[in-house]
Amino acid sequence: MSPLPAPRTFRVKSFGCQMNVYDGERMAELLAAQGMEAGSEDADLVVLNTCHIREKAAEKVYSDIGRLRRDDGSSPLIAVAGCVAQAEGEEIMARAPSVRVVVGPQAYHRLPELVAEAAQGARASDTEMPADAKFAALPQRTRVGPTAFLTVQEGCDKFCTYCVVPYTRGAEISRPFAALLDEARALVERGAREITLLGQNVNAWAGEDARGRAVGLAGLIRALAELPDLLRIRYTTSHPTDMDADLIAAHADTPKLMPFLHLPVQSGSDRILKAMHRSHSAESYLRLLERVRAARPDIALSGDFIVGFPGEAEADFRLTLELVESVGYAQAYSFKFSSRPGTPAAEMPGQIATAVTDARLQRLQAAINRGQLAFNAASVGQRCMVLVERRGKHPGQWLGKSPWLQSVHFTGDASIGDPVEVELATAGPNSMSGRLLHLATA
C-alpha cells in the first residue's frame, strides 16, 4: 500500500461496554503522549474501538468503515481495535482494504508503533494476548472529570455457552493492587470524585495488599476508600459465583461504596441456566440477593437477561418474568439471544424464531420498565448526595447521579464535580428531578 503522511490528529470512537470506554480513553492518552492532537470528524487517524458481543455491534463496524470514506474517495488512516479486531482481524483486513491497522484489546499499547508502520505503507496487526502487558506500557492518566472508570480485572474463565468474551478478552487476569492505587490516585488528583472499578468479572479480582496479604475486591475497595478526595466507589460487572461474604460485608461497612449492584442472572429458568453453563440456579441467585439486602437494605439491583436462548419455552420465559417481579430491579438490561460463531450455543438445537424472541423481549422490557418506575417512585422524598456530572439542557440545570445510580436533574447554584445534597422530588422511568438543599459535605 502507498505511504500516507504521518497522522497529526486522531479520533477514537468506542462501541459497546464500559471497558471499551476505558480502553478508548487510554488509547487517546497514548496517542496524545506521542504528540498527536485529538481531532474532530476529519481526523487523520480514526480508531474504531469495536464490540463483538452481539451481531449488530460487529456489522456496525463495516458500515462505519464505509462511512469514513471522504468525498474525494480517500480515507483517513483507519485502525480497528477492540473485540471485533480480536475475533475477526484477518477477515477485516481482507474485506476492508481501507483498514490499515488491526489491534486487539490486549495489545493496544502498541497502537503508536502500528500506526507508524501503517503510515509507511504497511498493513499492521497485533492480536496477541499477553496477560497484563499493556497496562505497564501505558502513560499516566491525564483525563479529567468527576467520574472515571478504572479497569481492575479483565477477561473471563466462565465460558457461558452464548458468550464470546472468554475468546476475545482472554483468561481472567487481575491488575496488581499497587498499580491500581497509583492509577486511582492519579485520577483523583485530576478531579475524579467517583471511580467505577471495571472488569468482565470484576468481583473475581484478587491480589496482594501493601503488606503482602491476599485480598479480594472488598480489600481493594476498602483501600481506595482511604483516598480522602475520592467520594464514591462503584464496581461492575459481577458474577454471582464470585460474590463472596467479604464483598457483601463491604456494602455494610464502607460508606463510600455506593448502594448499587449489577449482578446478571440471564434467565429465571434453571433448565436454561444449565444450558447457558451458568453456575447458579434462580433460587441460589435469589438467596444471594437476600444476603446482599441484609447487608445494605437500600441497595439498588440491576441485571442482564437474554431472551430466546436455544430451547427456551414459554414456560422458561415466564420463570424469567417471575424472577424480575420478585427481585424488584432498579434497572436491568435485556437482550435477544444472538448466535455467535464459535460458541457452543450457536450449534444448539431449538433455535428460537425471531418473531417469538421479539415478542418476549417486549414483554420482558415492559416488566423491567414497570419495576424501574416503581423503584424511582419509591425514592421520592429521599435526601441524598448527587455528584454533579454535567450541565442540563435548561439554563441553571445540572445533571448527576444519586447513590442508587438514578439520573437526577435539578436547578440551582452548583458546578461540575460538586457533591450536592438534594431531595428527590419527582420520578420518571429513566430519571428523577431533585430539589437542591445545599452543597453536601462529603
Closer Cβ to ligand 5AD, 237 or 402, answer by number: 237
Query: To the nearest whole angstrom, how small is the minimum distance from the Cβ of residue 14 to ligand 5AD?
Result: 15
Query: Does 200 contact ligand SF4 by CB under 6 A?
Result: yes
Tracing cell 424488584 back to the chain, one arrives at 328
**Which partner in ligand SF4, ligand 5AD, none is near 239 (CB below 5 to 8 A by kind)?**
ligand SF4
Spatial separation of the C-alpha atoms in residues 442 and 23, rounded to whole Å:
30
CB 312 within 8 A of CB 274: no
Query: Does 202 contact ligand SF4 by CB under 6 A?
Result: no
Query: Does 426 contact ligand SF4 by CB under 6 A?
Result: no
Specify the pairing of strand 173-174 against strand 153-154. antiparallel
Q: Which of 163, 330, 361, 387 binds ligand SF4 (CB under 6 A)?
A: 163
Q: How far is CA 407 from the centre of its chain?
A: 17
- State whether residue 303 is helix, strand or coil: strand
CB 378 within 8 A of CB 431: no
Closer Cβ to ligand SF4, 114 or 263, answer by number: 263
Query: Does 239 contact ligand SF4 by CB under 6 A?
Result: yes
Closest CA to 312 of 284, 342, 335: 335
Q: Which stretch binds ligand SF4 (CB under 6 A): 3-11, 160-168, 324-332, 403-411?
A: 160-168
Query: To the nearest whole angstrom, how small is the minimum distance from the Cβ of residue 169 to ligand 5AD?
Result: 12
Query: To the nearest whole angstrom, how small is the minimum distance from the Cβ of residue 278 to ligand 5AD?
Result: 10
Specify the pairing of strand 147-151 against strand 194-198. parallel
Closer Cβ to ligand SF4, 26 or 278, answer by number: 278
**Which partner in ligand 5AD, ligand SF4, none is near 159 (CB below 5 to 8 A by kind)?**
ligand SF4
**Which partner in ligand 5AD, ligand SF4, none is near 340 (CB below 5 to 8 A by kind)?**
ligand 5AD
Closer Cβ to ligand 5AD, 75 or 334, answer by number: 334
Q: For the window 120-159, what string marks contact with ligand SF4 as x by the rule CB under 6 A?
A: ------------------------------------x-xx
Closest CA to 265 of 342, 205, 326, 356: 326
Amino acid symbol at 395? P
Of the chain, the end-to-end C-alpha distance in Å amounts to 57
Query: Does 190 contact ligand SF4 by CB under 6 A?
Result: no
Burial of residue 95, with CB atoms counted within 10 A of its CB: 0-12 exposed, 13-18 middle, 19 or more buried: exposed
Query: To the nearest whole angstrom, how small is the minimum distance from the Cβ of residue 163 to ligand 5AD?
Result: 4
Spatial separation of the C-alpha atoms in residues 218 and 207, rounded to whole Å:
11
Query: To the nearest whole angstrom, how small is the minimum distance from the Cβ of residue 348 to ligand SF4?
Result: 15
Closer Cβ to ligand 5AD, 49 or 338, answer by number: 338
**Which partner in ligand 5AD, ligand SF4, none is near 143 (CB below 5 to 8 A by kind)?**
none
Q: Which three cell numbers stand for residue 28?
A: 487517546
Spatial separation of the C-alpha atoms in residues 235 and 197, rounded to whole Å:
4
Query: To the nearest whole angstrom, how small is the minimum distance from the Cβ of residue 232 to ligand 5AD?
Result: 23
Q: What contacts 318, CB < 8 A, 6 or more positions away?
A: none
Closest CA to 150 of 239, 94, 234: 234
The dihedrals phi and psi of 270, each to the nearest 5 degrees, come to -65, -35
Q: Which three cell numbers stand for residue 389?
A: 456530572
Residues in the chain: 442
Closer Cβ to ligand 5AD, 135 or 335, answer by number: 335
Amino acid symbol at 318? R
Spatial separation of the C-alpha atoms in residues 265 and 160, rounded to whole Å:
12
**Which partner in ligand 5AD, ligand SF4, none is near 337 (CB below 5 to 8 A by kind)?**
ligand 5AD
Closer Cβ to ligand SF4, 152 or 156, answer by number: 156
Query: To the nearest whole angstrom, how small is the minimum distance from the Cβ of residue 320 to ligand 5AD?
Result: 12
Beta partners for 25?
none
Minimal CB distance residue for ligand 5AD: 304
Q: Which three cell numbers stand for residue 334?
A: 435485556
Query: To the nearest whole angstrom, how small is the minimum distance from the Cβ of residue 289 to ligand 5AD?
Result: 16
Site for ligand 5AD, rule CB under 6 A: 53-54, 162-163, 264, 266, 304, 306, 335, 337-338, 340
Residue 233: which H helix or E strand, with range?
Answer: strand 232-236
Query: To the nearest whole angstrom, how small is the minimum distance from the Cβ of residue 341 to ligand 5AD?
Result: 10
Query: To the nearest whole angstrom, how small is the minimum distance from the Cβ of residue 340 to ligand 5AD?
Result: 5
Contact footprint for ligand SF4 (CB under 6 A):
156, 158-160, 163, 165-166, 200-201, 239
